[in-house]
Amino acid sequence: MKIGILALQGAVAEHMRSIEAAGGQAVAVKTVDQLFDLDGLIIPGGESTTIGKLMRKYGFIEAIQQFAAQGKPLFGTCAGLIALAERIAGGEEAHLKLMDITVARNAFGRQRESFETDLEVDGIEERVRAVFIRAPLITEVGLSVKVLSTYNREIVTARQGNLLACSYHPELTDDFRLHAYFLQMAREAAVGI
């Protein structure tokens, strides 16, 4: 499976390493014409305002919306989760508007409040080490969205069909199970399950 990592800004190398460790092939995506032969796309952590601006500037909004419409899977972590959301709390303009969720940015506070913890994730057997950095939260989900994990009753991992998103950074640990989960989504999409 060939997985692209949107390489406009953020933790691109870490996702590439994790995808490769999970058995996939990773490529850094800087232009829209690189999307056509990918089996899946990851939108990494970084600054969502920066990534959002650059996505608009280089035509990624429509290109990624079309990519998703083909049934190809997308995985957003932290800023990537914000990029996927249909609604951003506080009135800020949403970016890709693909996932039927509302997100609150910097929902835990500032860097001082950033933390790591162990998290149960539906579909993954043992707990996952989750690193939350100035992390967002999912405050509302639509009916077609499945909640995969919560922290203090707040939603931090969710899936809607071919879209996967989490508030934290699985790419910052040596646990590659969420990337393996995403690769499985890509395999299933490729054979049309």
Active-site positions? 78, 169, 171
CB of 111 to other proteins, least distance (A): 4
Nearer to other proteins, 132 or 181 (CB): 132
Q: Which pair of structure tokens corresponds to residue 37?
A: 């032969």
Q: What is the DSSP pairing of strand 2-6 with strand 25-29?
A: parallel
Nearer to other proteins, 72 or 105 (CB): 105
CB of 88 to other proteins, least distance (A): 10
CB of 188 to other proteins, least distance (A): 30
Nearer to other proteins, 67 or 132 (CB): 132
Nearer to other proteins, 113 or 188 (CB): 113
CB of 41 to other proteins, least distance (A): 17
Q: Which residues contact 65 (CB under 8 A, 6 or more apart)?
A: 96, 97, 98
Neighbours of 71 (CB within 10 A): 12
- Residues flagged as binding site for L-glutamine: 46-48, 105, 133-134
Q: Which residues contact 183 (CB under 8 A, 6 or more apart)?
A: 1, 3, 19, 22, 23, 24, 40
Where does this chain bind other proteins (CB under 8 A)?
Answer: 7-14, 30, 45-47, 49-50, 53-54, 57, 78-79, 92, 105-106, 109-117, 131-134, 169, 172-173
